[in-house]
Chains A and B, each alone.
Chain A
């Protein structure tokens, strides 16, 4: 049911291909699809309406000229508008000129507050700060212990007390931090529902007691239409200074980002991308925009690839592919580069169109090791001229790499296919077709 916007737009926009001005008529179908895509991505209905109206206004009357087709133009307008709304640049954490900086987090149950606190503390300590974690969730069973255990993993102190009075813990933590020279205090609070007046009063009391420099709303990226109601309630009570979006390592389209931003009007300062404490990243508006639209996060890919492959190398590679000289030696290089860049599935998921294909494929990063082992068991000659790999050589490679002959056969077959496809891709640059990676599909 989650077709990408791109696919849908292609249908809707074919109709006015060749027209020279974007008009109310030729754009209305496209806008309807955009509305739908945004709703499917869980952007709040009211936010969607406003957004679509804005885009309509911007688009109508735009002359279609230059390289862009009307469909590309409207996608560009939509994308640019989204990026603008999401905040044009990455926002930093505000630190108080006079320490300690006090950071307080709040949010619904299970949104990821405690994990985020530990991640943030780790992150700040890496930057040379002396954070103190404060455990104020006196309500959920074992919540304090959870923070203590996480903090212990990264050797950061936790302040807490054996009391049901979260406000007093927060207050005393302040004094404690001054005494022990901690320059950043991170206050974890219990999860709460916005209609729970008593609990909302408690979090307000904590807020009043510590007067935070930053008050961050921790929001699960999978939240639906209710994001707006919830964010508004927290914002009204605590005048939030920023948003944290968690669990973005899932496959949610993350439309909530737009909804929450719309309500709070403050930047998304961090995103959580995993359960481990390293999995904290700054927010990149461009990436989320593409994700919400289902266009694939091509920008991230480009960025990641840029860090690892230099242009020169890329050119050589392209040349080789065109001449059909791409060998296992090159492939091994490629694999190593990809490994450096991060999880394969993450990476491939960033390519438009791949996302859907990948859903049915289990890409195991362990497969890397297997493929790598097979290539390493080949002689240099075999790597450069896969054609010479006959039956007995296959057996030897299988034995050497701890795989089966079938594995080797599959790798060779797929490698051959990949060579062909790569050739096609380089010859037809506009094609969105992507080769299957040998050894990674069933």
Chain B
């Protein structure tokens, strides 16, 4: 090989190497960007919320205030406007009050840290699902059956589209069962989502028995060795006995094919819902073993604070949050992040303080 060709080869190798390194870097940057972009979407959604929270907190906690009863009253109000509810709010405030006394805090700023810790504690009280393993499926336990339930209009169908997409992205074979046979055009709506997610769907005519649809879906999933089955159900108000019985029937019928089915039951809650969400959770629990909550529409101005009393009283973990209408808008729930986004204060409070010191 001539000198020049050797040089050329070496050079090419070098270029390749550089290209490789560069592209690796670029890729990781792109990935990171994508990640922050997603988080930003939630943050954007919560921006307004945060702003009003920040403003209120600044007013309450700013200007070197000392901790006193009036301050605690004001904080109580802020929590109530986040739909955390009177009982749980009072509980949180009481804990903060005790700790202030016991641990000797004086400055209003410290209260924020305490609040965050207390809310975190509540959210962690409910057994939090192992987030890393969430899209994992045990080979021997296939298909994993997920049933999605909730009152009318909370976003069940959309959530199922997103969830199917996430499983599919994790390399799993998904089959959706359209057991909302009641609502007009529910079939077609879910069909579009299944198509978007690129997964299969089992349907029957409107008015068919939802339990039969669920049964068919599971049967087909078993025959075709699918990894995941996701059952959509019609929206129903939790105080309607006959509709709740129907839900029980769907589970019962599926057990004939797989005794552990449904392996997961997700209760979908709309973040705009107030205290009634607690009733919803309580009542649905009686008809299905809820394994987690999906909190939707968090990209709006609503704060979804009602999941805090639900975690506190009923010990149901929040598993996913919905932050938009696109197919990749379903994220795993991260308590720290939720609180961070809810209050989103750390930076702002600090900045404010720095501003003052100058």
Where the two chains meet, the residues of A that have a C-beta atom closer than 8 Å to any C-beta of B are 1-2, 36, 39-42, 44-45, 108-112, 139-143, 145-150, 153, 193-195, 220, 222-227, 229-230, 233, 247, 249-253, 255-256, 275, 345, 359, 362-364
Do residues A142 and B189 form an inter-chain contact, with CB atoms below 8 A?
A: yes
CB neighbours of A220 from chain B (8 A)? 153, 270, 272-273
Do A110 and B152 touch across chains, with their CB atoms under 8 A apart? Answer: yes
Stretch at the interface among B17-25, B126-134, B209-217, B295-303: B295-303
CB distance from B186 to the nearest CB of A (A): 8
Asked if B5 CB lies within 8 Å of chain A CBs, one says: no
Chain A residues near B274: list those with CB within 8 A.
42, 222-225, 227, 252, 255-256
Please list the residues of chain B having a beta carbon within 8 angstroms of any beta carbon in chain A. Answer: 45, 47-48, 77, 80-83, 85-87, 151-155, 182-186, 188-189, 191-193, 206, 237-242, 270, 272-279, 297, 299-303, 305-306, 313, 325
Provided the pairs A108-B300, A193-B299, A250-B238 are in contact, do residues A145 and B272 lie with their beta carbons within 8 angstroms? no
Give bound CA distance, A118 to B140, whole Å: 48
Within 8 Å CB of B48, what residues of A?
A: 195
Roughly how many angstroms separate A222 CA and B273 CA in the complex, as a whole number?
6
Task: Give A110 to B239 CA distance when docked, in angstroms.
Answer: 19
Assess whether A149 is in contact with B301, with CB atoms less than 8 Å apart: no
* Cβ-defined contact, B303 with A226, below 8 A: yes
Q: Which 4 A-B pairs have the closest CB atoms?
A: A224-B274, A110-B153, A42-B274, A146-B185
In the complex, A251→B280 CA distance in Å? 9
A40 partner, pick from B189, B275, B325, beta carbons under 8 A:
B275
Docked Cα-Cα span, A277 to B160, in Å, equals 27
Query: Once bound together, how far apart are the Cα atoms of A160 and B270, in whole Å?
Result: 29
CB distance from A418 to the nearest CB of B (A): 22
B89 (CB) vs chain A CBs: closest residue: A39
The total of Cβ contacts below 8 Å across the A-B interface reads: 152
Taking a contact as CB atoms under 8 Å apart, the answer to whether B153 and A45 are in contact is no
Given A143-B189, A252-B276, 12 new contacts (CB under 8 A): A42-B83, A141-B188, A142-B189, A143-B185, A146-B186, A222-B277, A223-B272, A224-B275, A226-B83, A249-B237, A250-B239, A251-B237
Instruction: For residue B304, give the distance in angstroms from its CB to the closest CB of chain A.
Output: 9
With A39-B86, A193-B299 as given contacts, are A112 and B80 in contact (CB-CB < 8 Å)? no
User: CA of A2 to CA of B239 in the docked complex: distance in angstroms?
Assistant: 15
A360 to B48, CA, bound (A): 40
CA distance A44 to B45 in the complex (A): 21
Q: What's the Cα separation between A403 and B160 when bound, in Å?
A: 43
Whether B300 lies near A193 (C-beta < 8 A) is: yes
CA distance A252 to B151 in the complex (A): 12
Task: State which of B82, B152, B272 has its C-beta within 8 Å of the C-beta of A108.
Answer: B272
Residues of B within 8 A of A1 (CB): 87, 278, 313
